[in-house]
Amino acid sequence: MSHEPVEETVYEVFGQTDRGEPYVQLGSLPAADPEMGLMLARELFSRRGEVISLWLVERQEIHATERLDGDLIRGTDRTYRMGEGYRVTVEKRQRLRRVKP
Amino acid sequence: MTQRKLIDHAVNEVLLAIADDELVCGHRDSEWCAFAPMIEEDVAFASIAQDEMGHARLLYQLLEARGQGSLDQLAFGRPVTGYKNAQLLERKNAGWAQAIARHLVYDLYDDLLTGRLLEACQLVEVADIARLVRREERYHLEHQETWINHLGHGGDGAKARLDTALGQVLAEAGGLFEDLPAHRQLAEAGLLPGVPSDLQIEFSQRLSALCLAAGLSEPAIPSGGLGGRLGQHTADMSECLATMTEVLGRAPGAIW
């Protein structure tokens, strides 16, 4: 009996910890198709109930910049552009949710 | 015995049968750790094993609260004839096709048991546990369905191997649907809406539909493997218990 390796796709897995929260990359896995990939992702990345939703994205569909692209890291002072206030948006939203019934 | 005591006894018997199924199934699942077809499945199957153990724990805890002994004593401290699990679940692992076929049969049975009998039963604690358990069992069933769909449509003789394994599993699956006098007592008292053997027709209909969708052959009716609910077990059960209690047996009463 021949045991040719099955053609597998590598998927990047993203998870959301709560409604409205951003999807964060959790890891990657190889699988025969999205159905199998999602099933495995559920057991691998949410078995302790960490996430409420999972995304599976084919790695080859991700378009990325060159690694260590020096020009991405600028030399000039750009702190005046930082919208510091927005960083607490997530916190504020969570606080609001706790207050609401 | 008074009527009240008879009913209490019947409830304990029924709970023990369900808990022992989950415990033994979980143990056999756990033995796949490091041996599954790929590393991701290794983690997935081990996770399912932990779920099943967790379900057993919930039920043993309820039995503990009902004065039936401590959790550990219930899980690991009984003679082999005291266990009421179906024989099918104690059988040694025999390849991935058998693992998936057996788990599919068990999950489908479990879905009907919890959905048709336990959720609707008049014992509040049992109905609550059934609801909790079903939330995880849904994913187990999906896991097995995904596998049979892939193996059923896969090459390299996968379909034939799964067909054979399913045939062997079903020839020992009759024990899952075996009614104890305790089941009948609870049904007659109106506490349970039915008995396990009532679930067989729907079980076979749903299994047939799943097999058809997966391109597998028409499955047989569950038969054989009887006696487990009455404490009659195969040699595999003694091996299973010896393995499960090996560490505990070396240092009885040790605190972890």
- pLDDT, residue B215, reads 96
- pLDDT, residue B165, reads 98
C-beta atoms of B150 and A30 within 8 A: no
C-beta atoms of B48 and A40 within 8 A: no
Domains parsed from chain A with CATH numbers: 1-61+87-101 (3.10.20.520)
Using beta carbons and an 8 Å cutoff, which residues of B are at the interface with A? 38, 40-41, 43-44, 47-48, 50, 139, 142-143, 146, 149-150, 156-157
Q: Closest Cα partner for B76 from B57, B91, B55, B89?
A: B57
Question: Per-residue pLDDT tens for A28-53?
Answer: 999 999 999 999 999 899 877 789 99
Contact A31, B40 (CB under 8 A): yes
| Residues of chain A found within 8 Å of residue B43, distances taken between Cβ atoms | 43-44, 47
- CA-to-CA distance for B81 and B238, rounded, in angstroms? 10
Q: Closest Cα partner for B174 from B230, B232, B104, B221?
A: B221
In whole angstroms, how far apart are CA B127 and each of B18, B46, B113, B123? 13, 26, 11, 6
Partners of A9 in the β-ladder: A31
ipTM: 0.72
- CA-to-CA distance for A72 and A83, rounded, in angstroms? 19
Mutate which of B135, B150, B153, B161 to test chain A, going by most A C-beta atoms within 10 A?
Answer: B150
Q: Tell me the mean pLDDT per 10 residues along chain B, length 256.
A: 89 97 98 93 94 96 97 95 98 97 98 95 94 92 96 91 98 98 96 97 98 96 97 98 91 78
Q: Which of A1, A31, A43 sits opposite B43 (nearest CB)?
A: A43
Average pLDDT over chain A, rounded to an integer: 83
- pLDDT, residue B50, reads 94
Under the banding of pLDDT at 50, 70 and 90, the label for residue A1 is very low
- CA-to-CA distance for B110 and A89, rounded, in angstroms? 45
Mutate which of B38, B149, B161 to test chain A, going by most A C-beta atoms within 10 A?
Answer: B38
Domain boundaries, given as residue ranges, for chain B: 3-250
Question: Per-residue pLDDT tens for A62-99?
Answer: 998 877 766 666 677 777 777 766 777 878 888 888 88
C-beta atoms of A32 and B150 within 8 A: yes
| Residues of chain A found within 8 Å of residue B150, distances taken between Cβ atoms | 32, 36
C-beta atoms of B157 and A1 within 8 A: yes
CATH, range B3-250: 1.20.1260.10
CB atoms within 10 A of CB B155: 9
- CA-to-CA distance for B99 and A93, rounded, in angstroms? 46
Helix or strand (DSSP H, E) at A31: strand A24-31
Under the banding of pLDDT at 50, 70 and 90, the label for residue A2 is very low
| Residues of chain B found within 8 Å of residue A43, distances taken between Cβ atoms | 43-44, 47-48, 139, 143
Contact B64, B71 (CB under 8 A): yes
- CA-to-CA distance for B29 and B10, rounded, in angstroms? 29
Q: Which of A4, A29, A39 sits opposite B146 (nearest CB)?
A: A39
- pLDDT, residue A4, reads 56
C-beta atoms of A44 and B40 within 8 A: yes
- pLDDT, residue B7, reads 94
Using CA coordinates, name the residue in chain A closest to B41: A40
Q: Which of A2, A3, A39 sits opposite B143 (nearest CB)?
A: A39
Using CA coordinates, name the residue in chain A closest to B154: A6
